Amino acid sequence: MADYYTDDRTPIARPGQLYVEGEWCTPASGERLELISPSDESLHACVAAAGIEDIDRAVAAARRAFDTGPWPRMQPGERAALLRKMAELLRTRAPHLAAAWSFQTGVPTTMANYALANPGMLYDYYAALIEAKEFVETRTRDNGGVAIVVREPVGVVAAIAPWNHPSHLMSLKAAPAMAMGCTVIAKAAPESPLDVFILAECAEAAGIPAGVFNIAPAGRDASDHLVRHPGVDKVSFTGSSVTGAHIASICGGRMVRSSMELGGKSAAIVLDDIPMDDVIKTLVPGGGVHMAGQGCAFLTRVLVSRKRQDELVSAYADAMQALKVGDAFDPTTQMGPIAMARQLEKVTGYIEKGKAEGARCVTGGRRPAHLSKGYFVEPTLFDNVTNDMAIAREEIFGPVISVIAYDDEAEAVALANDSAFGLNGAVYTSDPDKAYAIGRRVRSGNFSHNGLEHDSKFPFGGYKLSGTGREGGPFGLDLYTEIKTIYMPQPPETAA
């Protein structure tokens, strides 16, 4: 087995150690994670993995830091100052985080470089939010006396992020949790662990107290142990609906707090009043083949009226065929590979299932002829899809788009809502009033007009199998908050 190492573009000081209780330590498990580049199938990194003993150590460290350490007892402004230091350090490491994202998941480097300002922004945002927010409110009771309503940190948080957007999604959990005064075990996916090492180096350099931020890149057994650990007060999970349901059942069994941002099968409704060019310029690549389709919120069902169906399919196919598919680090690449071999097998399996179900594969569905290595598949468009087909109902997590025809707007909304998921949606129309009206009728946690929008300063989450809770903005802080009411005949001289 290879020695511990990472590529020069993703420098990590101690790839063979874990960061626990403010120290870099050799994992008890002796386990390693070997990372394969999806662009060329080469081994590009080997880092430490956490086993069950390492999970126990990380939880104990976070428990001590929360129960007896300074972090929850600091004033919000004191925590904010340290979070801002971490934000600044993350900005200096943005090129490394971007390279790690491309190495691990195949996201084109041009996109990765653009998007990696988000982690630093999130720590800055929550630093400012806790400085402005009131955490103690004294209310006069109708029958005399007062009730003091206090917002307190929930405790030790297991933050479990997926492989597809690791640094952003981990920061979307860790930043508000730490801002609120919680302590964190950052459980990275075994396919994309590099980011938490960089986050830990920034936390250490920023002076975040020992035990507040601990890392546990781990596989299934250690992850399950973390979720079941009695020292964990809150589980925050982003990933598949199947895994989310499993974790939620465990959390429900012991009444531990949890929030879940899960899968999606989101619909874009194209109305008749908008030019097709205005639809295609944001729907491709941003709507469904962005990141090779490896995102929960992407618009993978496109609903169009029967009279415009051929027009949309032709324009969509032309736009797909014009995309350059290639190595994530090629600056001209517009769509990179699927992140891993098993995911590619899943995606190609769905493509074959779509054909078997009777849908028409208009374009794509094969390995690009010019790419002999890597986990590549062409962006794929299916026409004549009905909403009962597997490719229309199940989350594929690949660049596979289903076009579904409708007869009128009422049917379009019904088709959009006829899904086990409810994460995202969009409508394409020149009429903003109609866009808002349809947005109110579609049962999804997020909805956009003429495109796919996301802003981490606003709530993000879904209905139905797409999860529970909302990450982002002030709502993200609420996820890591307990509310306590203290009744007193008269208020104390100071309440903090």
The answer to whether the bond into 285 is cis (omega within 30° of 0) is yes
Q: Which residues contact 6 (CB under 8 A, 6 or more apart)?
A: 12, 15, 44, 45, 47, 194
Q: Is 251 a catalytic residue?
A: no
CA atoms within 13 A on the CB side of 395: 23
Q: Which residues contact 446 (CB under 8 A, 6 or more apart)?
A: 297, 423, 424, 425, 454, 460, 461, 462
CA distance 142 to 145: 8
Q: Which residues contact 227 (CB under 8 A, 6 or more apart)?
A: 158, 160, 235, 247, 250, 251
For residue 277, give the amino acid letter.
D
The one catalytic residue among 21, 191, 201, 261: 261
In DSSP terms, 486 is beta-bridged to 148
Number of C-beta neighbours around residue 74 at 10 A: 15
DSSP code of 306? G
The one catalytic residue among 46, 296, 395, 409: 296
Q: Which residues contact 43 (CB under 8 A, 6 or more apart)?
A: 2, 34, 35, 36, 37
Calculate the alpha carbon distances from 477 to 45, 128, 370, 459 in Å: 34, 12, 47, 10
Q: Is 261 a catalytic residue?
A: yes
3-state secondary structure of 358: coil
Active centre residues (catalytic) = 261, 296
